[in-house]
Amino acid sequence: MPKSRSNEDLGRSNQQPQQLLASIRKQFGGNRRPQLDERNWATLKEQALKKAADLQQKASQSAKEGVEGARLVVADLARGDAKQAGTRVGAAVERAGDSAFLMGISRLMICMYFINTVYDRYGSYQFTQQPEVLERAKRWPQHYPVISFPYLSVGMLLPCAVLAALGIKVLFCAWFMVAWEVFDSLNLLMMLLFSGVKPNELVVKRLAMMGCTALVLAHSMKEQRVQISSYAGLLLSGNSRKRQPSRAKSLVLLLGRLLMALLFIYLERVIARDFILVNHLPHSQLPPTDAAAVDTAVREGQQRDELIAACEAALGRTVQRPSGPAVCAEACSTRALILFNVFALEGFHIAEALGVPCLAASPCLVPYAMPAAFERRFRQANPSLYQALKAADEHRQQPVAGANSSAANIGSTGIAGSVGWAEVRHWLWPLFTERWGAWRHHRLGLPAVPYSDCPPGVPLPPAPALLYGVSESVVPRPGFWPSTVHMRLAASVRGLQLPA
């Protein structure tokens, strides 16, 4: 076997795998295949172990250097070296601020807020053009302000938001959006500054969005170039032109950051005072912190328990019964009925829990209409139920009850067909608010949302009839009302027949 380097020299070498293989072949006689006897195996094993130990030592040394570097950074921050730590953090922030991708994402998110604002305003205008809302606005103009078409929002704000999102004329569009938000929030700001009104999440959101838009504006402004003419400045800077932020950009940056800080201050206030921004089913079981709210909740709970006990005693039924189409069919064969006012909607839920039909009555027309955003939120929260309600409207074949309809049709018309979106839009929409969800679920044993337990493909239960104590000779019946809404004088109600 030819003479070769010692095993220690081979172990200390830092060769690549190909070089190591060539060295091993050289030790065993060039390209001749080595004899894999016990001695050769021992030699190869020793060389491999030494090479692995060398690589492990280098990896351990590299890890120690990394840990030592991290320890130095932590030590700098711990001992309060504000200048050095601030330089490092500032460099990281500056690199992130110069990222075109992050800037584009931030600009897109802010522009989506203004696009959504335009969409909401157009949705409000579209809602006021519905026949029922127009009819209500004629009768109660003090409760229904006139909403005109949002020409400025659609014609100016929407194009600016789209152009800024695409990176076109960002400076001009950002100026316009800031001015728009200031003008749009002027009334809220005046109330906040001069009327002593406590800020809510709406005011804080407006101010925070104004700050975000101001930051977009600041990053879009050109920096002022300052000429350095002194000889010392040329020697020290190495560049005859130095970029420094202008005063206008600094002021806009300061304003934007302060307005954004208000959002975090408000959230800290919410956490400190144990507020709840969103009220849904799990939060509804949390005890209120205000003494007046505690008294109101206790009193309302006692009144509801008294109503349940009175209905159970009068009808000989108990709550916690299964609901659904089968129970509704059983209820149609009984002569029990719960009559309630539209301002006491507990009667609807109790009737559903007891498995008996119900009839709503009102001495006047309902003076309130469904909110503009209710349909969109209902469709997002309950898509299958919304489709079933709309399908019931499309397939409804019942004639609209007119002046020639008899009193007996008051009960039968409400039971013949399934409930549809027309009833929800006219008067049933308050039943789907969060006020009733927890009580239905925990006290009555019902689903939090009415009609949500009906299986897919099964027709919805019949809609409860609504009886107005007003004659059609006094107030003509609008043609867009659902067929389950009836108008009768108090004298004609005496002949009302219960569903058989």
When mean pLDDT is compared across 9-18, 116-125, 149-158, 451-460, the lowest value belongs to 9-18
Q: Residue 52 pLDDT more than 60?
A: yes
The 10s digit of each residue's pLDDT in 208-225 is 777 777 777 776 665 434
In this structure, the answer to whether residues 221 and 134 fall within a common structural domain is yes
Please, what is the Cα angle at 415 between 410 and 420, to 5 degrees? 105
Give 269's pLDDT tier (boundaries 50, 70, 90): low
Of the candidates 68, 94, 120, which is a domain's last residue? 94
pLDDT (0 to 100) of residue 136: 75
Name the pLDDT band for 413 (thresholds 50, 70, 90): very low
Does the residue 51 lie in any domain?
yes
Task: Establish if 59 belongs to a structural domain.
Answer: yes
Q: What is the DSSP letter of 256?
A: H
**In this structure, is residue 280 part of a structural domain?**
no
| Total domain count, the chain | 3
The domain boundary, picked from 50, 73, 94, lies at 94
Is residue 133 domain-shared with residue 78, that is, in the same domain? no
Other CB atoms within 10 A of residue 36 CB: 10
- Based on the fold, state whether residues 55 and 174 are members of the same structural domain: no
Residue 358 in 3-state DSSP?
strand
Tell whether 178 is covered by a domain.
Answer: yes
Going by pLDDT thresholds of 50, 70 and 90, the confidence category of residue 146 is confident
Give kind and range of the element (H or E) at residue 341.
strand 338-341
364, 464: one domain? yes
Please check the confidence at residue 207 and state whether its pLDDT lies above 80: no
Pair (232, 358) in one structural domain: no
Who's near 62: CB < 8 A, 6+ residues apart? none
Cα 216 from Cα 220, distance rounded (Å)? 6
Residue 143 main-chain phi, psi, to 5 deg: -100, -10
- Diameter over CA atoms, the chain: 126
What's the domain range around 242? 101-272
337-346 average pLDDT score? 86
140/170 same-domain check: yes
The rounded mean pLDDT for the chain is 70
Residue 285 lies in a domain: no
Model confidence at 120, pLDDT cuts 50, 70, 90, reads confident
Task: Considering only residues 207 and 198, tell me which one the structure prediction assigns the higher pLDDT.
Answer: 207
pLDDT band at 73 (very low <50, low <70, confident <90, very high): low
Judge if 29 and 138 occupy the same domain: no
- Residue 327, pLDDT > 80, answer no
pLDDT number for residue 310:
86
Mean pLDDT of 462-488: 83
Over residues 184-210, the mean pLDDT reads 69
> Are 355 and 406 found together in one domain?
yes
Statement: residue 105 has pLDDT above 50: yes
Per residue in 282-295, pLDDT (tens digit) is: 444 445 545 555 66
My answer on whether 318 and 452 are in the same domain is yes
Lowest mean pLDDT among 46-55, 257-266, 404-413: 404-413
Q: Last residue of a domain, which of 75, 94, 113?
A: 94
Identify whether residues 121 and 21 lie together within a single domain. Answer: no
Tell me the pLDDT band of 80, cut-offs 50, 70 and 90: low
Beta bridge mates, 227: 241
Joined tokens for residue 484: 């389950």
Indicate whether 284 belongs to any domain: no
What is the model's pLDDT at position 98? Answer: 60
Q: Could you tell me what percent of the chain has a pLDDT over 90?
A: 0
58-67, 474-483, 490-499, range with greatest mean pLDDT: 474-483
Residue 500 in domain: no
pLDDT band of 448, cuts 50, 70, 90: confident
Residues 412 and 347 in one domain: yes
Position 422 in a domain: yes
Q: CA–CA separation, 365 vs 371, rounded Å?
A: 17
DSSP string, 450-498: TTTTSPTTSPPPBPPEEEESS-TTTSPPPTTS-TTEEE--TTGGGGPPP
Query: Is residue 490 predicted with pLDDT exceeding 70?
Result: no
83 vs 498, more confident: 83
Spatial distance between the Cα atoms of 494 and 496, rounded to a whole number of angstroms: 6
pLDDT at 325 over 60: no
Residue 8 pLDDT level (bands cut at 50, 70, 90): very low
Contacts of 155 (CB under 8 A, 6+ apart): none
Q: What is the pLDDT of residue 478?
A: 81
- Confidence class for position 334, pLDDT limits 50, 70, 90: low
Compare 146 and 357 and report the one with higher pLDDT.
Answer: 357
pLDDT category, 63, cuts 50, 70, 90? low
| Whether 116 and 250 share a structural domain | yes
Q: Are 451 and 435 in contact (CB under 8 A)?
A: no
